[in-house]
Structure 1
Amino acid sequence: MTATASVEDFASDLRQAAETASAWPFEEARKIIERLKRKPKDEVLFETGYGPSGLPHIGTFGEVARTTMVRHAFRVLTDDRIPTRLICFSDDMDGMRKIPENVPSRAFLEPYLQMPLTSVPDPWGGEYASFGDHNNAMLRRFLDTFGFDYEFASATEYYKAGKLDAVLLRAAERYDDIMQVMLPTLGEERQATYSPFLPISPSSGRVLYVPLKEVNAKAGTITFDDDDGTETTLPVTGGHVKLQWKPDFGARWAALGVDFEMFGKDHQTNAPIYDRICEILGGEAPEHYVYELFLDEIGQKISKSKGNGLTIDEWLTYASPESLALYMFQSPRSAKKLHFDVIPKAVDEYYNFLARYPVQDVKNKLGNPVWHIHAGNPPVEELPLTFGLLLKLASASNAEDKEVLWRFIGRYAPGVTAQTSPTLDKLAGYAVRYFIDRVKPRRAFRLPDEVEADALRRLDAALAALDGSDRDAIQNAVLDVARPVPRYQDAKRKGPDGGPGVSFAWFSALYELLLGESEGPRFGTFVAAYGIPETRALIARALSGELAKGAA
């Protein structure tokens, strides 16, 4: 069989497996295909939204990454026969309702409250034309850093350039229909003043939330009292008005012909409103995907104003973008805690999935997250150590730089260097930073009790009798020390002689006593990497009380 034939066979197998693949991006992609059967189109448009009242954040990454995964699944299912586009739409014509905490001078922005974000001056030195333009530039830089394939769209540019004029005129014509959708969703007081159109005041430049005196569908105008009390008439076109955010959702879908958009669960109750307004304005509501919101470590919803969560920069300080993409891929419809402690697990899970990929059949490849993270072309990586093990080595050695870790790596995996494994070198750097910032301040060593002290002394003797760094021999020695100790026996687990196995309490005790933590990798692997002499020295420090005293 020729190489070309082999590639063609794999492509054929891939298409067939994709038809029934259960990964959620394929499920969403198949919905888009069914949509096209009802209403054929020359291209499929994916959209994500961004509110530039603040800088791009981890949720922004999640929306674009997840949408990109669905887009790629669609392209595979359709053999890339139908062109696709991804628009990242910035709602930068929204009024600035409050002044962000992170600007250089809050007083500087006070006069610009309620003005469109692209009419508010740039508070960071004037490099950009406006506050909105600054945050838009940060969004594009943010997305470009991750290599996303997208088109940027500015609401201000779309409104002012007339790209939304047709749908705005239609909104004036069908004003009563829109109001029939919106009014039942509002309280009595707001019903009296509500309008889907928000005029931009000619006198103050502010986005006005005022009742309308008249909507002239034939002329395409609205009449209202301006900030200065003057009765004013403006066209709904050309950027003189914008739509309230709920009607704006549906109007944008209708104007652009959006086929797919995902949003957080906080939008779920409003989705039927967006859909109905899109239909009123002559469009077909896109396929939706509603994802769960993130929680902090105590289970509270993450809030930008509270700052109770992780920023994108914080994640990337300690781990790669791929590990974050994995976290976004897994169970988007389940509430997940997003805090520092999830990072090490995400890193190791990513490399575990990557290691499995080459030996999987086509069906399982399509269910492997790395296929979606890397658009069907995952890299080949073989790492001799896990990130979790690197963290424990950093903790045991109090590493201040990654060169300390490389001394252990070189012993554990002879021939592996920073040059031959740049990925491992990056992981070593991440591990040291995570240890210094997140582990070291929280370590809690304790003194061993009598049972633990006796077990540690016997472990020290067992390690002294070993020759070399065979991780399995070390692990067996560690288990043998614990087997006769009633505290560490587990009747649910069987030992080699048919008696009780060793409970996890033994390993928790080892990590608490020697590393000041309650969890860790396989202990035999840790000792093999850290070194038997070094581990025995650690045991001596635990027995003498030095470790616990240092923590105190």
Structure 2
Amino acid sequence: MFDEALISAARTSKAWPFQEAMKLAKRFNGSKKGADGTVAPVLFETGYGPSGLPHIGTFQEVLRTTLVRRAFEIVASVDGLPAPTRLVAFSDDMDGLRKVPDNVPNKAMLESHLGKPLTRIPDPFGTHESFAHHNNARLQDFLDQFGFDYEFVSASDRYNSGAFDEALRQVLRKFDAIQAIMLPTLREERRRTYSPVLPVSPTSGVVLQVPIEVLDAEQGIVRFEDEGRTIEHCIFGGQAKLQWKVDWAMRWFALGVDYEMCGKDLTDSVTQSGRIVEVLGGRKPEGMIYELFLDANGEKISKSKGNGLSIEEWLTYGSEESLGHYLYANPKSAKQLSISVIPRAVDEYWQFRAAIPGQDWSKRLGNPAWHLLHAANHDAGAGDSLPVSFGLLLNLVGVLGAGATHQQVWNYLGNYIGDADPDDHPDLYRLVEKALAYNRDFVAPTLQRRAPNPNEADALRELDAFLAGTAEGTSAEDIQNMVYEIGKKPEHGFETLRDWFRALYETLLGSEQGPRMGSFIALYGVANTRRLIAEALQS
């Protein structure tokens, strides 16, 4: 049940999920109505090609679509009750295998089945009835891991069962009109062989890329050439599939899809498929075209190059929520996807989450953490915060070294948060493990402390003298204020406080950037920090 203040704010919110939701609400002039006049579920769809394993692109599309879905349930609510919706995760598993992926076993076996529908190719992993069934199972496990609410739909199931037959019949009826849309978009050579319908060879089982002649649209009978023979057969019941852009349009038509987003690389497909679905008698879904991911060098991510970041890698070094937070922002802008963005994403998520209770609805609905919590039905977590930032954890384990242990970190956390018990801080406990992994693999190998120059050495001696008279347990704020005062003194020669803090980071921590030093010293301990200073002065 949504209160009136939330609904009112949602309908005027500038946050992109609500902007997308309002496009849908205007499409239906409020809520979607069924044939009998009652409110009907709005259908959201995401697509997946099971020739490969699920990846971050799969996650982001389901996540972003879910955010729009939840936003729509609010803006189209009636009497405070959420508007009904459905989310279909559609697997295009009737597609023919074009090439053998690099990351699978039994490549020679797969090579012998090139061109066949993915559900009719043996599973190279030996665990499921087909290659597609294996990858579909992985997709569902993947989506279940993140708690997505969805319905799985298989293209092969729909084709084979005859559920798509009426839509295929309509494609044959509108064959010439579809050709008139598609042929002008193709090169001359491709035009000669293009067909909206791809028959499955009764001889080889391969999905054929050959021109066809429609003999009887109502019965689904077509004629085509197959290995030098002229074949006449029915395309119904899984004996054919459709060319990509036509298939997408047919799916929208057959399922009644109302919303589907896609990447910028499919912009042309959206245009042509939108025209085709109208020819079929349907309506193009609403949707958003999002920008693609870039690697650390600003180049487009390619699965064949392997220059991306897998979801397993992100979850090794960052949390699920931080990934969602990173993907929420600016979907229409290209995003760098590399290890380096993880620490900031972790801390930003928690900063936004802690801010939720103090925000009015207009600000709250623009808060990424609110959207992520609401999408997962975890609104109760709003306002939670971490006692120690992820950045500070990284600095701590960086000082402790690549061999640091979970227990060591918790011993130091006791300096900062009192009687630190992992059971009382489960989110922090999980982040400690990720900080240890991130430090081990990316930070520790790069850390290199430099010797201070004479002016920096004088400032470090003054800091050490202050700490000598400072008790363990002194507040981080009091320590930070003294660090500031030392850096401001003209005799130390720092042009700005930034120069002083950079000197502290480079001489004590071995990095160019670092935390608030007051917080770090309170966490690491006064005596331990004095040892760091002594080591720096002796270098």
User: Normalization by structure 2: what TM-score?
Assistant: 0.93
**Structure 1 residue identity aligned to 2:246:** P
Partner of 1:266: 265
Partner of 2:501: 507
Partner of 1:523: 517
Q: How far apart are residue 310 of structure 1 and its match?
A: 1.1
Q: How far apart are residue 217 of structure 1 and its match?
A: 2.6
In 2, Cα distance between the equivalents of 1:337 and 1:153?
31
State which of 395, 398, 406 in structure 2 corresponds to 1:395. 398
Q: How far apart are residue 416 of structure 1 and its match?
A: 3.4
In 2, Cα distance between the equivalents of 1:422 and 1:113?
48
Partner of 1:117: 118
Q: Which whole-Å deviations, capped at 9, do the CAs of 1:111-158 have from their partners, x for residues lacking one?
A: 01111111111111x220001000000000001111111000001001
Q: Which whole-Å deviations, capped at 9, do the CAs of 1:76-113 have from their partners, x for residues lacking one?
A: 12224542110000001111111111112212211011
Partner of 1:183: 183
Partner of 1:379: 381
Q: Which whole-Å deviations, capped at 9, do the CAs of 1:420-444 have from their partners, x for residues lacking one?
A: 1111111111111111122112223
Report the 3-state secondary structure (helix = DSSP H, G, I; strand = E; otherwise coil) of the residue aligned with 2:300.
Answer: coil
Partner of 1:44: 42
Q: Pick closer, same or farther for the CA change 1:444–1:74 going to 2, 3 Å.
A: same
Report the 3-state secondary structure (helix = DSSP H, G, I; strand = E; otherwise coil) of the residue aligned with 1:49.
Answer: strand
Report the 3-state secondary structure (helix = DSSP H, G, I; strand = E; otherwise coil) of the residue aligned with 2:3.
Answer: helix
Partner of 1:480: 485
Q: Unmatched 5+ residue regions in structure 2?
A: 35-39
Q: How far apart are residue 248 of structure 1 and its match?
A: 0.9
Residue 129 (structure 1) aligned with residue 125 (structure 2):
no
8 Å contact from structure 1 (residues 370, 378) kept in 2? no
Q: How does 1:393-432 map to 2 (within 5 A)?
A: 393-398=396-401, 400-432=404-436
Q: Pick closer, same or farther for the CA change 1:269–1:388 going to 2, 3 Å.
A: same
Q: How far apart are residue 215 of structure 1 and its match?
A: 4.9
Q: How far apart are residue 213 of structure 1 and its match?
A: 4.5
Report the 3-state secondary structure (helix = DSSP H, G, I; strand = E; otherwise coil) of the residue aligned with 1:153.
Answer: strand
Partner of 1:84: 85
Q: How far apart are residue 489 of structure 1 and its match?
A: 4.1
In 2, Cα distance between the equivalents of 1:367 and 1:488?
44
Partner of 2:470: 466
Q: Which whole-Å deviations, capped at 9, do the CAs of 1:276-300 have from their partners, x for residues lacking one?
A: 0111111000001111111111111
State which of 51, 65, 73 in structure 2 corresponds to 1:67. 65
Q: How does 1:295-444 map to 2 (within 5 A)?
A: 295-375=294-374, 377-380=379-382, 381-398=384-401, 400-444=404-448
Q: Unmatched 5+ residue regions in structure 1?
A: 1-7, 491-501, 546-552
**Structure 1 residue identity aligned to 2:444:** K
In 2, Cα distance between the equivalents of 1:197 and 1:539?
73
In 2, Cα distance between the equivalents of 1:487 and 1:96?
68
8 Å contact from structure 1 (residues 172, 215) kept in 2? no
In 2, Cα distance between the equivalents of 1:53 and 1:378?
39
8 Å contact from structure 1 (residues 223, 234) kept in 2? yes
Report the 3-state secondary structure (helix = DSSP H, G, I; strand = E; otherwise coil) of the residue aligned with 2:423.
Answer: coil
In 2, Cα distance between the equivalents of 1:460 and 1:181?
76
8 Å contact from structure 2 (residues 88, 151) kept in 1? yes
Greater alpha carbon shift after TM alignment, 200-209 vs 398-407: 398-407
In 2, Cα distance between the equivalents of 1:260 and 1:142?
22
Q: How far apart are residue 320 of structure 1 and its match?
A: 1.7
In 2, Cα distance between the equivalents of 1:153 and 1:415?
50
8 Å contact from structure 1 (residues 45, 259) kept in 2? yes
Greater alpha carbon shift after TM alignment, 47-56 vs 159-168: 159-168
Report the 3-state secondary structure (helix = DSSP H, G, I; strand = E; otherwise coil) of the residue aligned with 1:367.
Answer: coil
8 Å contact from structure 2 (residues 471, 526) kept in 1? no
Report the 3-state secondary structure (helix = DSSP H, G, I; strand = E; otherwise coil) of the residue aligned with 2:424.
Answer: coil
In 2, Cα distance between the equivalents of 1:446 and 1:62?
41
8 Å contact from structure 1 (residues 275, 285) kept in 2? yes
8 Å contact from structure 1 (residues 475, 523) kept in 2? yes
Partner of 2:104: 103
Q: How far apart are residue 234 of structure 1 and its match?
A: 2.2
**Structure 2 residue identity aligned to 1:96:** L
Q: How far apart are residue 68 of structure 1 and its match?
A: 0.7
Partner of 2:37: none
In 1, Cα distance between the equivalents of 2:76 and 2:289?
24
Report the 3-state secondary structure (helix = DSSP H, G, I; strand = E; otherwise coil) of the residue aligned with 1:26.
Answer: helix
Partner of 2:22: 30
**Structure 2 residue identity aligned to 1:147:** G
Greater alpha carbon shift after TM alignment, 136-145 vs 107-116: 107-116
Q: How far apart are residue 214 of structure 1 and its match?
A: 4.6
In 2, Cα distance between the equivalents of 1:365 and 1:218?
54
Q: Percent of counterpart pairs with the same letter?
A: 50
Count of residues in correspondence between the two structures:
524
Greater alpha carbon shift after TM alignment, 480-489 vs 385-394: 480-489
Greater alpha carbon shift after TM alignment, 151-160 vs 365-374: 365-374
In 1, Cα distance between the equivalents of 2:340 and 2:218?
59
In 2, Cα distance between the equivalents of 1:535 and 1:241?
71
Q: How far apart are residue 369 of structure 1 and its match?
A: 1.4
State which of 524, 527, 534 in structure 2 corresponds to 1:533. 527
RMSD (Å), alpha carbons: 1.8
In 1, Cα distance between the equivalents of 2:29 and 2:299?
42
Report the 3-state secondary structure (helix = DSSP H, G, I; strand = E; otherwise coil) of the residue aligned with 2:481.
Answer: helix
Q: How far apart are residue 448 of structure 1 and its match?
A: 2.8
In 2, Cα distance between the equivalents of 1:467 and 1:196?
78
Q: Pick closer, same or farther for the CA change 1:81–1:541 going to 2, 3 Å.
A: closer
In 2, Cα distance between the equivalents of 1:255 and 1:78?
24
Q: Which whole-Å deviations, capped at 9, do the CAs of 1:2-24 have from their partners, x for residues lacking one?
A: xxxxxx8x712111211212211
Greater alpha carbon shift after TM alignment, 90-99 vs 478-487: 478-487
Q: Which whole-Å deviations, capped at 9, do the CAs of 1:232-253 have from their partners, x for residues lacking one?
A: 1222221111011111111111
In 1, Cα distance between the equivalents of 2:99 and 2:320?
31
Report the 3-state secondary structure (helix = DSSP H, G, I; strand = E; otherwise coil) of the residue aligned with 2:96.
Answer: coil
In 2, Cα distance between the equivalents of 1:44 and 1:456?
64
**Structure 2 residue identity aligned to 1:417:** D
In 1, Cα distance between the equivalents of 2:224 and 2:127?
36
8 Å contact from structure 1 (residues 58, 312) kept in 2? yes
User: Normalization by structure 1: what TM-score?
Assistant: 0.91
8 Å contact from structure 1 (residues 13, 362) kept in 2? yes
8 Å contact from structure 2 (residues 52, 135) kept in 1? yes
Q: How far apart are residue 463 of structure 1 and its match?
A: 2.3
In 2, Cα distance between the equivalents of 1:473 and 1:488?
23
8 Å contact from structure 2 (residues 455, 493) kept in 1? no
